[in-house]
Amino acid sequence: MTKISSIFIILSVAISGFLFYLELNRATAPEYANYYAAFPISCSYREGIGTEIKFDFTPGDKAKNKIPQYDIQYLPEQGKTKIVFHNVGSVENNFYYDEIAGNPLFSNLDYSFEGANLAVEIEREGAYLPAEIIKEKSDIVIFLKAGDQNYPTITEQKPADNSAVFPSFKEISFKAELKSPLKKAIILFQNNPMDISAEAISTSSNQYLFKFKTKIEKDKEYRLKAIVTDSQDRTSIASWSFAGQVLVETILGKDRFKYLGWWGQINADNITVRKDPNASSTQVGSFSSANRVKILKEISGQEIGDTNIWYEIDGGKYPHAYVFSRLVTPLPQPQPPEKLSIPEEVQKGDYWIDVDITKKVLTLFNYDKPVFATYISPGREENPTPTGTFKVWYKLRKATMKGGPPLVKEKYDLKNVPSVMYYENSYAIHGAYWGDKFGTPQSAGCTNVTQGDAAFIFEKTKPTLAPDKNALFSNKDNPGTVVYNHE
């Protein structure tokens, strides 16, 4: 026997032994490992085709199958599909956020461990079709097929997605258009099923309006899911969310009403001022972008677009009327003077008035503590508001004012001017019902404030009037409040 033949025989025996060893191991290896590790690989969507959610699995011990056993659970009443992979002990990384966000076939993808199993939970979006599992060596692809135009279409969710609405007892609604008659509809509100009413908008085209009412609380996020099924058992799902929130609070803070309200600028021209907080209410006037308003209340009114917040305003022209919140932009709020200069005439416990003509801000002090600040309209250039320290000498709840600057054609004859406080000859602090341009020079020398602000200042200052009196001069026993005008 040659040396080469001997080597060949030895190799043949070794190979045969190795193959026998492999066959023996294959025969004795279990179908599935006792432990698998999962590795999320990718999540991709192809327009009109579907979404592929791909996992790789690595067995922790010998097994014939490199991927674990699994079960698919369909939960149409919850709008979910759940895939449970058995004996999976770990998930080694995550999908990228931009792969998940905005996927049109699911609204959320999450996983959790249920004993020794990995549960992948998919909150479906759009057409609800069975999930398909595609095996690729050690990989598993969860395939979600895209639906066609025959599936129900869910639209016009109110409140709209990612919107903020005023905390209130609120109606929530959505519309659906189907290709065949409605079989059933479910709305999940905070994951709880709600009793909803269904109104046929058009029976010929199977259009429906669904709605229910519930209490919305402040600073709380709300999530909704609508599940609509037609008579052909075609189901579609839509999810959206909104917040119970006063929009301006995030800008101006929770203490924005410490001075009886907050100030905003009208941000459009020819906007309508309404008697009540809805677009069909009586029109009481209009504003332009030159106007600014003081907001007295933020309330729930008719929903327009994605919010139902309306503002009750002071006046100016339209006290206690309403404007839609989207038409008002918050302003920097009036602030008391940074450097306090208390007039010598003021004693501890006294109220007094600081008027900053340059900043157009009036501040009411209780000695050294500011209790109120607001925007004013001081005198125009041709007849400016006087500077200096004065005292209120005459107060009237209502007054007639006539006059005008010398050599100027514009004269005024105003009846029932509210809350008038004369402090220097014919110069006064008073409410103004003929304009809403506070924060700009508009007067013939007086200090114009809103009607609500004027009433507040009037009641805090001296001389003090009895409730049944319209007018009173100051005197030794009932002296007038100090007014300090400066630039």
Backbone phi and psi for residue 4, each to the nearest 5 degrees, phi listed first:
-65, -40
Share of the chain above pLDDT 70, in %: 92
Instruction: Over range 355-365, report the average pLDDT.
Output: 97
The b/e string for 401-432 (b: 16+ C-beta within 10 A; e otherwise) is beeebeeeeeeeeeeebbbbbbbbeebbbbbb
pTM summary value: 0.69
Lowest mean pLDDT among 37-41, 393-397, 400-404: 400-404
Burial class (CB in 10 A: 0-12, 13-18, 19+), 170: buried
Residue-level pLDDT at 218: 86
Q: What is the 3-state secondary structure (H, E, C) of 373-425?
A: EEECECECCCCCCCCEEEECCEEEEEEEEEECCCCCCCCEEEEEEEEEEEEEC
pLDDT of 219 above 90 = no
Number of continuous H segments (helices) and E segments (strands) in the chain: 4, 36
Lowest mean pLDDT among 100-114, 186-200, 359-373, 437-451: 100-114
pLDDT of 22 above 50 = no
- Name residue, tokens 């099924």: 229
Residue-level pLDDT at 246: 81
CATH topology of domain 249-330: SH3 type barrels. (2.30.30)
pLDDT digits (tens, 9 = 90+) for 459-473: 999 999 999 999 999
pLDDT of 422 above 70 = yes
Find, among 442, 360, 445, 449, the residue nearest to 405 by Cα: 445
pLDDT band, residue 17 (cuts 50/70/90): low
- Top-confidence residue, 382 or 23: 382
pLDDT of 440 above 50 = yes
In CATH, what number does 153-244 get? 2.60.40.1220
Residue-level pLDDT at 9: 52
pLDDT band, residue 30 (cuts 50/70/90): confident
pLDDT of 84 above 50 = yes
Pairing verdict, β 207-215 and 197-202: antiparallel
The size of the chain, in residues, is 487
pLDDT of 88 above 90 = yes
**What is the rounded CA–CA span in Å between residue 324 and residue 312?**
9
Mean pLDDT (the chain, rounded): 90
> 295, 327 in Cβ contact below 8 A?
no
Instruction: Over range 339-360, report the average pLDDT.
Output: 95
**What is the rounded CA–CA span in Å between residue 278 and residue 163?**
19
pLDDT digits (tens, 9 = 90+) for 127-147: 999 999 999 888 999 999 999
pLDDT digits (tens, 9 = 90+) for 220-247: 999 999 999 999 999 999 999 999 988 7
pLDDT of 6 above 80 = no
**What is the rounded CA–CA span in Å between residue 402 and residue 460?**
26
Helix or strand (DSSP H, E) at 118: strand 117-124
Share of the chain above pLDDT 90, in %: 72
Q: Which two tokens stand for residue 138?
A: 């050690």
Residue-level pLDDT at 28: 65
pLDDT of 481 above 60 = yes
Instruction: Over range 340-345, report the average pLDDT.
Output: 94
CA dihedral (92, 97, 98, 103) positive or negative: positive
In CATH, what number does 36-145 get? 2.60.40.3500
Lowest mean pLDDT among 102-106, 324-328, 410-414, 431-435: 410-414
- Top-confidence residue, 306 or 149: 149
- Sheet (strand 106-114) strand order: 70-75, 80-85, 117-124, 106-114
Residue-level pLDDT at 96: 81
pLDDT of 487 above 80 = yes
Pairing verdict, β 447-449 and 427-431: parallel
pLDDT digits (tens, 9 = 90+) for 302-328: 988 778 899 999 999 999 999 999 999
Lowest mean pLDDT among 12-21, 36-45, 351-360, 391-400: 12-21
**Domain spanning 351-486: CATH 3.30.360.10:** no
Q: Which two tokens stand for residue 366?
A: 């209780």
Q: Residue 111 forms beta bridges with which residues?
A: 120
Residue-level pLDDT at 408: 52
pLDDT of 59 above 50 = yes
pLDDT band, residue 359 (cuts 50/70/90): very high
pLDDT band, residue 205 (cuts 50/70/90): confident
pLDDT of 298 above 50 = yes
Pick left, alpha or beta for residue 332 (phi over 0 → left; psi -120 to 50 → alpha; otherwise beta).
Answer: beta
pLDDT digits (tens, 9 = 90+) for 172-198: 999 999 999 999 999 999 999 999 999
